[in-house]
Amino acid sequence: MRDAITPPMSAERAQAIAHHFDLRALPADFLTNPYPVYAALREAQPVRRMPDGSVFLTRCADLVAVYRDAHAFSSDKHVEFAPKYGAGSALFEHHTTSLVFNDPPLHTRVRRLIMGALTRRAIAGMEPGLIALVDGLLDEMDARGGGDLIEDFASAIPVEIIGNLLDVPHADRGPLRAWSLAILGALEPTLTPQQQANGNQAVSEMTAYLRTLVAARRQRPGDPEHDVLTRLIQGEANGEQLSEVELLQNCIFLLNAGHETTTNLIGNGLILLQEFPDARAQLLRALQTTDAAEEEAVLSRAVDEFLRFESSNQLGNRRTVQDTQVGGVDLPAGTLVTLCIGAANRDPAQFTDPEHLNLAREGNKHLAFGFGIHQCAGLSLARLEGRIAIGRFLRRFPNYQLTEAPMRGGRARFRGFLRAPFSVA
């Protein structure tokens, strides 16, 4: 089924797209399969000068160098997002206040508060509830003889987990996925007026909802060891607290970041196993012949390989705040830099046989979670969700089959699927 899911791209076509490469004008076949274009760029123009004056990086070593140097390469997006969204818009306020698009000291304060509720002990304590959630979803699909890998499974898991972290009432979780898709969709390199309107509306509706949730939590605080919202409200031990805007926008960030990327991890992994039947057979054999401890290791390696091979988040961004250099190329202050995680994770200088899905790959130092001070705060939780979801799905439905071609999200930054109907046998 490989061609039906990811159609191949000829070398000539990849070279043609790479020659005229512009994030603001991406053809449909690139969005379906960007990796041949990434390879062509990495080989010929690893520091690609873009028509708008920005640069596009595709080598793993160059991305790591940028991630390491948070002084020269800023994550702040005020300069970049003001013309894109309009200063004062809901999208502008959100994306310039959230954790991922900020530098210290705001980034440091918010990350420290969040990490206090994502300790190793806290995440381990989530496992029994996660297993019960996954098994309940599997029971429902089993009773129907199948379902949709994305809507009925992959997207349902992180919505519940992040909802639990913020203690969002179950009755209120229905709109979260649509809000998330609209807000994160607005991060694409180009936007239609409708996409921008949808994103602004989603931020406004989500903010209005969170105001009521925050007000209720101020009156009845939760356990700050497990409730991230209570931790964010109460602030740090020295009394320093987030402003109301910082609090609300970082709650939105947590709901969105924890949802979309983990949905893509689970969905991409299960669809890759359909696309690569030999890897699927190998993984199933390993699960059938290992004890519990080794099974965890087998699934952990598989999850990291899914993350490397089909990175949930394909692109990152920085702006130089001083004259600097990357990959031997001089970059003046103010240069916008796009970090192509999807390309770096298939860099042959870093990974042996990178175009091969190797679920037993050792030493897999992929960049799917970023690197440095902005490395994903929830990476351990995402890995746990991926391991439990994919592992228990395979044990329940080892012979699952897609019943029609899955529908991709059609986005350059976030790579995943919107639909993937399947049967259990």
- pLDDT for the residue 23: 95
Name the nearest CA neighbour of 45 among 26, 66, 22, 27.
Answer: 22
Contact of 339 with 57, CB cutoff 8 Å: yes
Tell me the β-bridge partners of 423: 146, 401
- pTM for this structure? 0.94
Kindly give the interhelix angle for 176-185 and 193-219, rounded to the nearest 10 degrees: 130
Strands (E), 328-410: 329-331, 336-340, 401-402, 407-408
- pLDDT for the residue 386: 97
Q: How far apart are alpha carbons 402 and 275 in whole angstroms?
A: 10
Any idea what DSSP says for residue 291?
A: -
What are the extents of the domains in the chain?
Answer: 2-423
**For residue 96, what are its two tokens?**
């310039």
Give residue-wise pLDDT tens across range 20-66: 999 999 999 999 999 999 999 999 999 999 999 999 999 999 999 99
Contact of 395 with 287, CB cutoff 8 Å: yes
- Tally of residues, the chain: 425
**29 burial via Cβ count (<10 Å: 0-12, 13-18, 19+):** middle
Give per-residue burial for 134-156: e unless 16+ CB within 10 Å, then b.
Answer: beebbeebeeeebbbbbbbbbbb
Kindly give the interhelix angle for 292-309 and 244-275, rounded to the nearest 10 degrees: 100
- pLDDT for the residue 239: 74
First to last CA, the chain: 16
Question: Considering the domain 2-423, what is its CATH architecture?
Answer: Orthogonal Bundle (1.10)
Give residue-wise pLDDT tens across range 139-166: 999 999 999 999 999 999 999 999 998 8
- pLDDT for the residue 109: 86
For strand 336-340 and strand 55-57, is the pairing parallel, antiparallel, or unpaired?
Answer: parallel
DSSP, collapsed to helix, strand or coil, labels residue 388 as: helix
- Chain-centroid distance of CA 282 in Å reads 26
Q: How far apart are alpha carbons 125 and 310 in whole angstroms?
A: 29
- H helix runs in 276-378, sequence order: 277-288, 292-309, 341-344
Q: Which residues of the chain have pLDDT under 70?
A: 1-4, 237
The count of other CB atoms within 10 Å of the CB of residue 114 is 19
- pLDDT for the residue 4: 61
CA distances from 307 to 71, 177, 270, 300 (A): 28, 21, 12, 11
Q: How far apart are alpha carbons 256 and 244 in whole angstroms?
A: 19
User: Could you tell me what percentage of the chain is helix, strand and coil, using 3-state DSSP and rounding each to the nearest 5?
Assistant: 55, 10, 35
Give residue-wise pLDDT tens across range 184-220: 999 999 899 999 999 999 999 999 999 999 999 999 9
Q: How far apart are alpha carbons 195 and 115 in whole angstroms?
A: 32
Q: Annotate 221-234 with three-state secondary structure.
A: CCCCCCCHHHHHHH
Q: How big is the chain by its Cα radius of gyration, in Å?
A: 21
- pLDDT for the residue 69: 97
Helix (H) or strand (E) holding 47: strand 47-49
Give residue-wise pLDDT tens across range 250-260: 999 988 888 88
**267 burial via Cβ count (<10 Å: 0-12, 13-18, 19+):** buried
